[in-house]
């Protein structure tokens, strides 16, 4: 599994190479680390690296996957950027804006299409359901409008950022 972790102005590429019980082999920007990793309690972990013990506390903060990380000597904020957090961020952005185009944030499959060209839609009305990353997501109209184009059918595979439905909110 691969992640990007943002710490201040630095973004590190972290890959989990293997995980067997408490043994974890990770790569950080290409350098491998063999860790003994134990969850002590919710948000609290003990990590042993090269016979040195580190206690780490992760406290969620507002954001998709942002945490305050506390160790014995340091405290800092990190953001984990993985496929799920990228997907959720794009969903949140699209829900905050009255966008005239419904597009898939990541590759997926059209499970259900509820509208066709010329349909009138109401705010909050479900327009399409897309299955991606083993999750089904409903995309809704952000206001009253008219569907001006539908560029996919049920069962179609869609690419990331592919336009699916156009709506005129005027």
pLDDT, tens digit (0-9, with 9 covering 90-100), for 16-31: 999 999 999 999 999 9
DSSP codes, 130-160: EEETTEEEEEE-SSSEEEEEE---TT-EE-T
Query: What's this model's pTM, rounded to 2 decimal places?
Result: 0.48
> Given this model, what pLDDT does residue 97 score?
46
Name residues whose C-beta falls within 8 Å of residue 133's C-beta, 6 or more positions apart in sequence: 83, 84, 87, 106, 108
User: With bands split at pLDDT 50, 70 and 90, how would you rate the model's confidence at 170?
Assistant: confident
How many percent of the chain have pLDDT more than 70?
89
> Given this model, what pLDDT does residue 9 score?
85
The closest of 71, 69, 40, 70 to 54, measured between CA atoms, is 71
Q: Tokens 């995309």 map to which residue?
A: 139
Name residues whose C-beta falls within 8 Å of residue 92's C-beta, 6 or more positions apart in sequence: 64
Using DSSP's 3-state secondary structure scheme, residue 92 falls into helix
> Given this model, what pLDDT does residue 82 score?
75
> Given this model, what pLDDT does residue 99 score?
57
Q: Stretch 27-50: mean pLDDT, rounded?
A: 93
Q: Tokens 């699916």 map to which residue?
A: 164
User: With bands split at pLDDT 50, 70 and 90, how would you rate the model's confidence at 164?
Assistant: very high
Sorted by where each begins, the domain ranges of the chain are: 2-81, 100-168
Class of domain 100-168: mainly beta
Query: What CATH code is assigned to 2-81?
Result: 3.30.700.30
């Amino acid at each position: 599994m691969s992640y990007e972790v943002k710490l201040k102005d630095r973004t590190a590429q972290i890959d989990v190479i293997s995980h067997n019980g408490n043994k974890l082999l990770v790569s950080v920007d290409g350098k491998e680390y063999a860790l003994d990793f134990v969850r002590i309690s919710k948000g609290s972990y003990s990590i042993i690296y090269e016979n040195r013990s580190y206690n780490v506390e992760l406290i969620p903060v507002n954001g998709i996957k942002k945490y305050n990380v506390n160790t014995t000597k340091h405290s800092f904020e990190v953001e984990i950027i993985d496929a799920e957090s990228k997907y959720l961020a794009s969903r949140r952005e699209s829900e905050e804006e009255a966008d005239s185009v419904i597009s898939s944030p990541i590759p997926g499959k059209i499970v259900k299409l509820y509208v066709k060209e010329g349909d009138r839609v109401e705010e909050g009305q479900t327009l399409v359901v897309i299955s991606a990353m083993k999750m089904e997501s409903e995309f809704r109209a952000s206001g009253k409008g008219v569907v001006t184009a539908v560029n996919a059918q049920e069962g179609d595979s869609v690419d990331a950022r592919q336009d699916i439905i156009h709506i005129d909110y005027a």
